[in-house]
Structure 1
Amino acid sequence: MFSPQGPSLRELCVQALSSVEHGYDLLAPKFDHTPFRTPQSMLDATTRALSGLGPFRTGLDVCCGTGAGMGVLGALCQDGTTGVDFSSGMLGQARSAYPNASFVRADARALPFDAGFDLAVTFGALGHFLPEERPALFNGIYRALRPGGLLAFPAGSRPPVTSIAHWATLGFDLALRVRNAVWRPPFVMYYRTNTMQEVSRDLTATGFTVRTVPLSPPGYNLVIARK
């Protein structure tokens, strides 16, 4: 499915009926051949937007997956990069792709870092956290950053109700809510539970100063939260 190297429909169904952690362990070897990986154009746009805000010594990719964001950090950070994820399968792929980086297996809701990073990024991961879990995520990132450090991540605008994207994301979220109501363990991945207003509110409550800058493609902004 998606490409000859990507997962089959059966493999995706097995993943969808697993926990988030085990599901990504199963998907890891083929993840980079799916549309779920952050597009390189988005990664490049993020690098350009952050390039004038440094210098950055050390960087942290939160929920790094197979390591898409590690390339962004590698281009910006002078003294080393670290990726953190709770899927051992995804971390294995990331270690192979970025052998000079450091990787830590941990739950992003309980990050084991203290004031060690100048820049933190995350790509496509917020949907894995329920609204009530965002404060723990943001508090952990806040602790991980040095004073003045930045958290940055791309965020898309809510698609208009007349668009295909609106109905696709709505249908996906509804299907997962039904799945999680009747099947355990749950698989948390929602596209419509992280509005910019709500995310900004939680970041500000954590102690961040928040602003956004436009990215390409149109309709996307880079959220920049400074400690």
Structure 2
Amino acid sequence: MFAPQGPTLRELAVQALSSVERGYDLLAPKFDRTPFRTPDAVLAPVSRALRELGPFDSGLDLCCGTGAGMGVLRQVCRERVTGVDISAGMLAAGRARAGVTATAPRVEWVRADARALPFGPVFDLAVSFGAFGHFLPRERPELFAQVHSVLRPGGRFVFPIAAPARPGSLGYWTLLAFDAAMRVRNALWHPSFVMYYRTFRLADVRAELTRTGFDVELQSLPELGRRPDGSPRCRLVVATRAR
């Protein structure tokens, strides 16, 4: 699962016993050599879908990490692309990885908590990849309200969401075991490290986005295949700020 240049078992253990912010600061130099980085197999179909929805002037990558989603935004935004993350280490790695370019769009990296975004309603598009497990269910309404507040009317909040693993499957038991281990870890060790894979359920998320003031549509991502029952393995949530 990890490249030879990726983190050692000891480094992963130290990260797991740290806070979310400190843990990612430690992991940042080797993050792109782990399976935690959003793979190109997911980024490419999202890019295709956004090109069909766009173009956009300004885009925000929420919890951008080292910038996998920033590359998507640079393909569909004409003027400004902003990545925001709480980890200074991840932002530094993202800046170094992206390098300096004089071509449009303008790229910015901002350290901030996604639950307290330091922007007005200046974005046409917000995306996020793989970060929602770091927020407890009770935190999601405020998180979604923050995204709503930084989008212009008609702006879109877009993110992929995978179908849940089938009960009894290897993926189901793996995710169940991981979440259980995290709950035990957080009960016994502080600071907590919030990362739960099974709490971000589509029906709940859709209802919360609607209550926040978004009109929500779902698109399939056919490039990522279908389950045995014919349903998509991954959907794209397209939430439009209605007011």
- How does the TM-score come out when normalised to structure 2? 0.92
Alignment of 1:1-227 (within 5 A): 2-98=2-98, 99-100=100-101, 101-215=107-221, 216-218=223-225, 219-227=233-241
User: Match of 1:91, as an amino acid?
Assistant: L
- Give CA-to-partner distance per residue, 1:10-57, whole Å, 9 cap, x none: 100000000000000000000011111101110011000111111200
Which contiguous aligned blocks of 4+ residues in structure 1 show a shift greater than 3 angstroms? none
Deviation for aligned residue 1:162:
2.5
Q: In structure 1, the residue corresponding to 2:115 is in which secondary structure? A: helix
Structure 2 stretches of 5 or more lacking a match?
A: 102-106, 226-232
Identity %: 58
Q: In structure 1, the residue corresponding to 2:65 is in which secondary structure? A: coil
Deviation for aligned residue 1:94:
1.0
Q: Distance in 2 between matches of 1:116 and 1:197?
A: 28
Q: Distance in 1 between matches of 2:58 and 2:19?
A: 32
- Give CA-to-partner distance per residue, 1:112-164, whole Å, 9 cap, x none: 11111101000000000000100111111101111100000010111101311
Structure 1 stretches of 5 or more lacking a match?
A: none
Q: Distance in 2 between matches of 1:104 and 1:117?
A: 14
Q: Distance in 2 between matches of 1:143 and 1:97?
A: 30
User: Match of 2:189, as an amino acid?
Assistant: W
Q: Distance in 1 between matches of 2:158 and 2:237?
A: 5
- Give CA-to-partner distance per residue, 1:42-82, whole Å, 9 cap, x none: 00110001111112000000000000000000000000100
